[in-house]
Amino acid sequence: MRTETKKLDIRKVLAESEHLPTMPAVAKQLISLSEWDDIDLKVVAGIINKDISLSSKILRTVNSAFYALPHKISTLSQALVVLGLRATRSLTLSFCLAGMSSRGKAGRFDYSSFWTRSLNTAVAARELALVTGFRTDEEAFLAGLLQDIGIMVLGQCAPAVYQEIIELSAEGDVSLIDVEREHLGVDHVEVARLLFEKWNLPPQLCVPILYHHAPEKAERSDEETLLSIRIQNVAGHIGAWLYLSKSHGSSLEELKDIACRYLTISPKELEALLYRVDMRMEEIAGLFELNVERPNTYSGLLEKVQATLGDIVTDQERLLRELEASKIEAQKLAEQLRTANRLLLKEVRMDSLTGLANRQHFEDFLHRELNRSFRYNHSIALLFLDLDNLKSINDRYGHLEGSNSLRHCAEILKRQVRASDLVARYGGDEFVIALVETGGSDAMLAAERVRQCIAETPFVLTEGSEKMHLTASIGVTAWEPKMKPISMDVFLERADSAMYQAKRAGKNRISLS
């Protein structure tokens, strides 16, 4: 902290300070009366009538919309009969105590804001008392009004330090009580207890105030006292939420949870109660002659929430549109990427001249199918084909016509194989065909069919109309389930060797290895 702090001897401060708020004379007399249930109405009326301003306030309040009585009350005695003695005492004390301030300089403590928040809490406590059937709604009002009186005392005892304590609590999201204890060695609840002793306030008023921050610590109290404590706890949360724009006050959802947990008030009941608090605050502020500037009202907060929700919905709709556009764009890019990958994969696997599989792709396929045949005892065959007269075409007509003849042969081979088989250009004028689940005899038939088709299908030269005929020598090998597994290289060597046997035997024929 910027200001040096020291622990307060709060009893000494309360005893010696000349600037602390003092109990008005009328309030002292009312508190000193014992056995209120048996007291004479004239005695109470006589005490209150000593203060003309106070008498006027009580009559004005009784006849206001705050009570909404069917008939006008014209005398204080009538008011006492209608309100009852306990309610009159609480109302009178409320008027006496509300608006108390320092007898000296106010310092930095904001008395106006303090009493505005306290009045918020008091009105909320009265409404909660009416909803829950508490014995005296005016007693709940008075307790709510004095709920945080200790804050006012500390603000007067150590004005500079206490202002920093309030700021530290707000900035650090730490409870005010914890910061008070750390820097002053005392909290405002303890200060209130000592002040109430000094003022000689009755226990039924003090206990709910002293335990309202921690209702669970008063669980051994009787049911009526517990109800009063819980009313003050919920009222305190409502007061903080309605008054403080940036505080440790609860959110509306937290308020609903607290009200339901402590007082079994439903969310709908709480919302209706908050509307009534709004209306009652407008009425009661004038009666207490307080210049109330409320930073928040329930309806105002709802409007802010609705406006915020509207902004959120608008932003959400915009984000959804952007997300949808991004999704469409991503889908387009993904499709383009898939297409590019397919083309790239095709290029990697394909022979650019003939459009057949290339050597690498074929060997990957053959290796995989060989292993599958070994595993499941399926036959597999391999044809190794070499064009017999490609060199003469290249020499006589040029390499362009030689390339055309390779493409011509590739088209024939494509038509001669099944979808499960694979034909590839292995290199130069060599082609290979893998025939899955095919034995040696069927492979020989397939090879002969391929040889005849190549020999009998002429192709036309690019320039001129001359027709050329190609022939091929084909080596055949097969692996049958009765054989031992062999490597792919050995399998290829056998087919290649058979092809050379066909070449040596006169070309344009097939040979089995």
What local confidence, expressed as pLDDT, does residue 248 receive?
44
Residues 90 and 120 in one domain: no
Does residue 84 lie in a domain region? yes
In a domain, 205, yes or no: yes
**Same domain? 216 vs 284:** yes
- Between residues 302 and 31, which one has the greater pLDDT? 31
What is the dihedral sign for C-alpha 390, 392, 396, 398? positive
pLDDT, greater one: 95 or 172: 95
Query: CATH number of the domain that 463 lies in?
Result: 3.30.70.270
Same-domain status, 77 and 34: yes
Q: Kindly state whether residue 3 falls inside one of the protein's structural domains.
A: no
Over range 331-343, report the average pLDDT. Answer: 81
Judged against a pLDDT cut of 60, whether residue 18 lies above it is answered with no
Q: Answer whether residue 431 is part of any domain.
A: yes
pTM: 0.55
Domain region containing 339: 303-349
Q: Are residues 396 and 308 in the same domain?
A: no
Looking at 97, 130, 163, the residue that finishes a domain is 97
Check which CATH number belongs to the domain holding 183 and give it. 1.10.3210.10
pLDDT of 246 higher than 50:
no
H-only helix segments in 350-487: 359-376, 390-397, 399-416, 440-456
Q: Kindly state the average pLDDT of the residues 236-265.
A: 78
Residue 18 lies in a domain: no
Q: Which of the listed residues 296, 313, 336 is the one where a domain comes to its end?
A: 296
284 and 254, same domain (yes or no): yes
123 and 248: one domain?
Answer: yes
Pairing relationship of beta strands 467-468 and 459-460 according to DSSP bridges = antiparallel
- 312 and 438 housed in the same domain: no
Inside any domain, residue 2 = no
CB 450 within 8 A of CB 472: yes
Structure tokens given for 397: 């007509």
- Region 273-281: mean pLDDT is 84
Q: Which of 15-19, 366-370, 425-429, 470-474 has the lowest mean pLDDT?
A: 15-19
Domain end (from 273, 296, 319): 296
Any domain includes 319: yes
Query: Is a pLDDT exceeding 80 seen at residue 404?
Result: yes
For the residues of 173-225, what is the DSSP string, one character each? Answer: T--HHHHHHHHHSS-HHHHHHHHHHHHT--HHHHHHHHHTT-GGGGTTS-HHH
Same domain, yes or no: 265 and 406: no
Q: Are 221 and 207 in contact (CB under 8 A)?
A: yes
**Is the separation of the CB atoms in 75 and 55 below 8 Å?**
no
Tell me, yes or no, whether 5 lies in a domain: no
Q: Work out how many domains the chain is built from and give that number.
A: 4
pLDDT per residue over 482-512, tens digit each? 999 999 999 999 999 999 999 999 999 999 9
pLDDT of residue 221: 78
**In this structure, are 163 and 285 located in the same domain?**
yes
Residue 265 vs residues 272, 370, 450: alpha-carbon distances, Å: 11, 78, 91
Whether residue 321 sits in one domain with residue 229: no
User: Do 253 and 401 share a domain, yes or no?
Assistant: no
Residues 275, 149 within the same domain:
yes
- pLDDT confidence band for 174 (50 / 70 / 90): confident
